[in-house]
Structure 1
Amino acid sequence: MSSDFDVMWKAYSSWRDYAANSLKAASNTSFPIGYSRAKRVVVCGMGGSGGVGDYLASLVAVYGGVPVHTVKSHRLPAWVGKDDLVVLVSFSGETLETLYCLREALARRALVYVVAGGGRLLKEAEEANVPATQIVRGPAARASFAQLFYATLEPLARFGLVRVPKEHIVESIDVLGQVDGIVKLAREALTATGNAKLYTFISCSPFESLAIRAKNEACENAKVSAMAWFLPESFHNDIEGSLEDVEASIIAFIHDNTCSRMVKTLSEVVGAPVYPIELNGRSPLAKLMWGTLFVGFFTLLLADKRGVSPLETARIKAFRSRYAQLFS
């Protein structure tokens, strides 16, 4: 195993502590009067940071709250204004698209909250006198998801914008401590699926965010081609795409009985085996976070099997070296 693998493994293994510390840090962040009256939440972020918005949208679909819209771009939607809470999430604090969104949100007099590991984003938030929480940075944004997610969730739950009960938040952090059990299941899944050239990750509504996360981590950590399917939507389009000409593995995340029936039906219709992962936890949030940590360990193990670094992302770095000119 490489040193990069060890660094990433340690980061994922520490999610429980990181999550608890980030939740506490965010709880100590002061907010001006008015944030609880936001009519919508707009989460801006790219890559692993942008996934925070996807997860919050899943939670609102389950628990209720105000609409959550995710922006993975350098521009805010035209409708964003003073009644909206714009949350800027950036692992590095230097993500150009997110910086542009911050400046645009301030110009439109929207409510603003920043979650970052440092950089210009925190500096500009301080200069604008808007609330911000600094997270402890891990080796990469995807390995620091626990910090980013819980620092964002805490004030939204506090203000009732995402109506997740406190006990569900506590349980979701507790399941992140089940490292040994999750790793065991990840190794079993790798043994069953690890020779594929294409991975298709499936989740059922409203947990689309988990399949998106799995697809992204397979690409970044394991450098393997991957797709995300969502049930029941994929019954109406994706299943017509042929998997017969490629060495593909299908992994499905199952969170309830309806999802289990849909996955079984998909396997029968497509005529291909599906490897099921039963999400562990009592609450929806706990299941979602358990599955997220499973994905992290599975893709690290896949990277090790493929002999690639789960930390290095050469093509992304090549893009970042020139992307400032794209938005000028």
Structure 2
Amino acid sequence: MIDLTNLEEIRKLDPKNVYGSTEMFPNQCEQIWREEINFPQEYKIIENVVLCGMGGSAYGGYIAQALFKDELKVPIYSNNDYNLPSFVNEKTLIILSSYSGGTEEVLTCGEEAKNKNLKISGITTGGKLSEFLKTNNYPNLVFEPKFNPSGQPRLGTGYMVLGFFFMLKKLGFINLSDDEFLKSAEELKSSIPEIKNESISIAKSLAGYIPLVFCAEFLNGNAHILRNQFNETSKSFSAFEEIPELNHHLMEGLKNPPDKKIKIVFITSDLYSGLIKKRFDLTKDVIRKNNVEFLEYNPQGSTKISQVLNTLAFGGYLSLYLALLYGQDPSLIPWVDYFKEQLSK
């Protein structure tokens, strides 16, 4: 078995330096927070936001919907498709999100939004999306990814999540001060050694099992992302469920088949509401009674955003370490690449 603390051994399976990109997650967050974007006043008086993005470029929407649920001044709709939802109108802001700038679903939505004369903005590193935004003089957050040595879009999580937060802040839709962000970034950096240790321990326990992630409230977006990270980085099937919703159906599905190879990962938090904490305890009781193993991760941090960032970092390390335990190059996504190649024919 590979020694997950030995960088020389890791490099043998990680030639594109996914480890380096994972380590630089805090730097990505800090860099994007220092970027500039200016919105005209009419962009600040809209009624809804539609975030068009696929894969890792959609992460900001999932996180924002959960983290800022109690303060968002307008609803956010995550659009993972070629077409815009029917409700869009002159009071809608379309945000096109594509790390590479070449995602066809996002570019198609951009053309539709332009034809409908909608308000448009976007975040990207370049490509066709950058050209589209700049040619049409749309407000844009085009950045240079200085802290993603692997070059993999899905490993630019800090850029795409915090970039979306930064846009929402500039629009006046969330109340996230520079001081609060900087405090959460410092808490994250100080927690990295502990995050890595816990990630190694949990990865070793998950090897050979299908991870099922249970989450709640402001961390629900993290569960979605962790599922994706298991899929793409670890090359492992995974799923996620939210408490309290899962308490209304999933528990009855634990009985069969009797030889199921699953382990549940609870993302707990001292900042959950009292009712949710009680549901977590009762859910664990049901899991035990069904002889299903579970693990827990309790993110550190004094605020909700701090715990969200901590859990994002945890997901990056956990999925990377699990890939290495499976002997996989964490950078490769052969079936996604094959699918795109066939689709283009």
TM-score range, shorter chain: over 0.9
Residues 147-296 of structure 1: pairs in structure 2 closer than 5 A: 147-177=159-189, 178-191=191-204, 193-242=205-254, 244-255=258-269, 256-257=271-272, 258=274, 259-270=276-287, 271=289, 272-296=292-316
Within 2, Cα distance between the matches of 1:62 and 1:321?
A: 42
Residue 47 of structure 2 corresponds to residue 39 of structure 1: yes
Query: Which residue among 120, 127, 132 is the counterpart of 1:119?
Result: 127
Change beyond 3 A, Cα 1:172–1:141: farther
- TM-score (normalised: structure 2): 0.88
Q: Deviations over 1:60-115 (max 9, x none)?
A: 31433211110011111011121111111111100000001111112222221110
Partner SS state of residue 238, structure 2: strand
Distance between the aligned counterparts of 2:80 and 2:231, measured in 1?
A: 18
Query: Is the deviation greater in 238-247 or in 143-152?
Result: 238-247
**Deviation (angstroms), 1:287:** 0.7
Give the secondary structure class of the aligned counterpart of 1:176: helix
Over 3 Å counting, the alpha-carbon distance change for 1:131 and 1:300 in structure 2 is same
Unaligned 5+ segments in structure 1 are: none
In the alignment, which residue of structure 2 is the partner of 1:303?
323
* 1:24 CA displacement: 1.0
Equivalent residue runs for 1:36-185 within 5 Å: 36-137=44-145, 138=148, 139-177=151-189, 178-185=191-198
- Once the two structures are superposed, residues 279-314 of structure 1 have per-residue CA deviations (whole angstroms, 9 ceiling, x without a partner) of 211111111111011011011000000101111000
The whole-number CA distance in structure 2 between the counterparts of 1:3 and 1:307 is 7
Q: How does 1:15-30 map to 2 (within 5 A)?
A: 15-25=25-35, 28-30=36-38
Find the residue that maps to 2:60 and give its secondary structure.
Answer: helix
Cα distance in 2 between the residues matched to 1:129 and 1:319: 33
Task: Return the alpha-carbon distance in structure 2 between the equivalents of residues 282 and 310 of structure 1.
Answer: 32
CA RMSD between the two structures: 1.8
TM-aligned CA deviation for residue 136 of structure 1: 3.1
For residue 96 of structure 2, give the secondary structure of its aligned residue in structure 1.
Answer: strand
The alpha carbon displacement at 1:204 in A equals: 0.8
Distance 2:70 2:22 in 1: 26
In structure 2, the gaps of 5 or more residues are 1-9
Partner of 1:13: 23
User: Cα deviation per residue 1:10-54 (whole Å; 9 max; x = unaligned)?
Assistant: 1111122221111111xx222222121121111110001112111
Q: CA contact under 8 A between 2:49 and 2:93: conserved in structure 1?
A: yes
Q: Secondary structure at the match of 2:300?
A: coil
Partners in 2 of 1:279 and 1:6 — Cα distance?
A: 28
State the distance in 2 between where 1:34 and 1:159 align.
Answer: 10
Distance in 1, Cα, partners of 2:210 & 2:129: 36
CA distance in 2, matches of 1:17, 1:39: 33
8 A Cα contact 1:135 1:151, kept in partner: no
CA shift at 1:6, angstroms? 6.4
Partner-residue secondary structure (3-state), 1:129: coil
Mean Cα deviation higher: 154-163 or 7-16: 154-163
Query: The residue matched to 2:264 in structure 1 has which SS?
Result: strand
Count of residues in correspondence between the two structures:
322
Please tell me the residue identity of whatever aligns with 2:283.
L
Alpha-carbon shift at residue 211 of structure 1 (Å): 0.9
Q: How big is the shift at 1:3?
A: 5.1
Given that 1:201 and 1:211 are in contact with CA atoms closer than 8 Å, whether structure 2 keeps it comes out as yes
SS in 2 for 1:34: helix
Secondary structure, aligned partner of 1:279: coil
- The answer to whether the 8 Å contact 1:197/1:225 transfers is no
**TM-aligned CA deviation for residue 120 of structure 1:** 0.2
Q: Once the two structures are aligned, what percentage of the paired residues are identical?
A: 19
